[in-house]
């Protein structure tokens, strides 16, 4: 039988706010990014609250890697710039539902296009994370200009929207866009080497938090100082090993920051359907169900028609609701939505019938024991290394090549970290004490 629904949270962030939304686009001159021979577009769709008073928080969305050129239903070459007779796939328009929800709640939202990066990141060592960070910050710099003296020269939709408050920035990224916005948050705190960076100006904004949907983790670079929520789609057939969990796990020992880092496991969600332009029946270009593409139709939980599989509309509503939850907590400081994100076990009725399970590293935690070489233990305990290629030091089963890290994510591409220890606990009988002491 299906488990009982979680109790409803006291506040539902999926409920629209009081503002009507206005929508428009801007298309600025393209930019040149390091190591990319072709220029990258500066295009975006803006959804903002009509007649909202004062300066409003700014939410920036970044899509991930997808096909980037199309002509009807034909197969066309995927090269950048798109060949004559083809058009760029408007992946940046795929989050309008979430943008409209946030706009109704008082946010200025902008979803930026990154096809020029998707068309050139195949050769980048970091799969384009630095380029995406540069693009995000180039857009934020424009919004900082438009919030000040340059407002009179801003695009029409920007002038029609309330002035953006760059001290209250929220970032959302999907797939490689998730890693891209995380890198942008990092680069906003600690500038990258100038030769690698496509943005050379001052940081005139503050990132208050971010939400990542099915993100990649090629660079192994989480940002412990910035609170985050990571959505892990339970039926992801693209980023199928769910490395987004590392945005939680890998931040644990990196700093003394008390920022919340949350993971949300969304049962029945695939990778693509969070973006309408990646969803069959909604997209202008050909698209597909990534779970079926990768695994076929034989899975009792995730195949088309399975009772636990979400429809595209249900999945997009989950995305919008939890994007709004993260923004409300991190930007507005509304602690009433935290139980949706911190493992308390509450649900947002707006996202029904989806089942969303949360786990978090919260700020109100005190380490009892930090494992190190001097740690003592007895019973079924042993000191081990979190990231190692040494079978004798591995925390998990060295005979299993995937067992390189707790949870379920292999540490592919990571270098050993000899000073990051853990204590592995094991027992075969009940009431057997295990003791660990500093």
Q: What is the pLDDT of residues 87-142, one digit of tens each?
A: 999 999 999 999 999 999 999 999 999 999 999 999 898 999 999 999 999 999 99
- The model's pTM: 0.93
DSSP assignment, residue 206? -
Q: What confidence score (pLDDT) does residue 251 get?
A: 82
Quick one: pLDDT at residue 429? 86
Q: Report CA dihedral (169, 172, 173, 178) to the nearest 10 degrees.
A: 70
Kindly report, residue by residue over 251-302, the tens digit of the pLDDT. 877 777 789 999 999 999 999 999 999 999 999 999 999 998 888 888 999 9
Domains of the chain: which residue ranges?
21-361, 376-437
DSSP state of 347: B
Q: What mean pLDDT is predicted for residues 238-248?
A: 92
Confidence of residue 219 (pLDDT cuts 50, 70, 90): confident
Q: So what's the pLDDT on residue 402?
A: 58
Give the pLDDT confidence score for residue 111 in this predicted structure.
99
Question: Rounded to an integer, what distance in angstroms lies between the CA atom of residue 20 and that of residue 101?
Answer: 10
**Out of 67-71, 209-213, 407-411, which region has the weakest mean confidence (pLDDT)?**
407-411
Distance CA 62, CA 69 (A): 18
Average pLDDT, the chain: 93
Which stretch, 69-83, 201-215, 381-395, has highest mean pLDDT? 201-215
The listed CATH number (3.40.1440.60, 3.40.50.1820, 3.30.1330.10, 3.40.50.800) that belongs to domain 21-361: 3.40.50.1820
Asked whether 227 and 259 are in contact (CB, 8 A), the reply is: yes
Among the residues of 81-175, which ranges form H helices?
96-104, 115-118, 129-146, 156-160
Confidence (pLDDT) at 262? 96
Judge contact between 277 and 283, C-beta under 8 A: yes
Give residues with Cβ within 8 angstroms of 319, minimum separation 6: 95, 97, 98, 213, 231, 274
The confidence score (pLDDT) of residue 175 equals 98
Q: Report in angstroms the alpha-carbon separations of 206 from 49, 131, 188, 309.
A: 21, 20, 8, 37
pLDDT in tens, 299-314: 999 999 899 999 999 9
Residue 336 has pLDDT above 70, yes or no: yes
Rounded CA gap, 180 and 176, in Å?
Answer: 6
pLDDT at residue 214 above 70? yes
Q: How far apart are CA 363 and CA 122, in angstroms?
A: 37
pLDDT at residue 275, rounded to an integer:
99
Mind listing the pLDDT tens digit for each residue in 353-397?
Answer: 999 999 998 777 777 788 888 999 888 898 988 778 787 888 877
CB count within 10 Å of CB 341 equals 27
């Amino acid at each position: 039988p299906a488990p009982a629904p979680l109790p409803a949270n006291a506040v539902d962030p999926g409920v629209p706010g009081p503002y009507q939304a206005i929508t428009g686009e801007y298309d600025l001159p393209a930019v040149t990014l390091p190591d990319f021979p072709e220029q990258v577009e500066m295009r975006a769709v803006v959804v903002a609250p009509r007649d909202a008073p004062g300066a409003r928080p700014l939410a920036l969305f970044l899509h991930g890697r997808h096909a980037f050129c199309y002509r009807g239903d034909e197969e066309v070459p995927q090269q950048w710039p798109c060949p004559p007779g083809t058009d760029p796939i408007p992946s940046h328009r795929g989050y309008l539902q979430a943008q409209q929800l946030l706009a109704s709640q008082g946010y200025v939202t902008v979803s930026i296009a990154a096809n020029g990066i998707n068309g050139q990141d195949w050769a980048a060592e970091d799969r384009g994370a630095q380029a995406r960070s540069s693009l995000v910050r180039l857009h934020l710099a424009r919004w900082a200009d438009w919030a000040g003296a340059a407002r009179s020269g801003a695009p029409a939709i920007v002038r029609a929207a309330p002035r953006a408050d760059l001290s209250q920035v929220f970032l959302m990224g999907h797939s490689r866009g998730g890693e891209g916005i995380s890198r942008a948050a990092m680069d906003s705190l600690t500038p990258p080497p100038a030769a690698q960076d496509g943005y050379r100006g001052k940081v005139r904004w503050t990132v208050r938090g971010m939400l990542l949907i099915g993100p990649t983790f090629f660079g192994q670079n989480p940002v412990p100082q910035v609170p985050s929520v990571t959505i892990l789609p339970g039926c992801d057939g693209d980023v199928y090993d769910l490395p987004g969990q590392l945005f939680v796990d890998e931040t644990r020992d990196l700093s003394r920051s008390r920022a919340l880092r949350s993971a949300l496991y969304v049962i029945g969600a695939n990778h693509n359907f969070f973006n309408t332009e990646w969803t069959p029946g909604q997209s202008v270009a050909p698209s597909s169900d990534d779970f079926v593409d990768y695994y076929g139709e034989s899975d009792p939980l995730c195949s088309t028609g399975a009772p636990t599989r979400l429809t595209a509309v249900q999945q997009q509503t989950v995305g919008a609701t939890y994007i709004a939850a993260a923004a409300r907590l991190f930007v507005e400081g509304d602690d009433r939505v935290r139980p949706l994100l911190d493992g308390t076990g509450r649900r947002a009725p707006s996202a029904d019938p989806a089942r969303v399970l949360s786990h978090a590293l919260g700020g109100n935690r005190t380490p009892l024991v930090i494992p190190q070489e001097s740690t003592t233990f007895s019973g079924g305990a042993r000191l081990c290394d979190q990231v190692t290629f040494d079978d004798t030091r591995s925390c998990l089963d060295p005979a299993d090549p995937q067992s390189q890290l707790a949870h379920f994510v292999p540490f592919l591409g990571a270098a050993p970290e000899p000073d990051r220890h853990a204590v592995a606990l094991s027992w075969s009988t009940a009431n057997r004490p295990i003791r660990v002491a500093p």
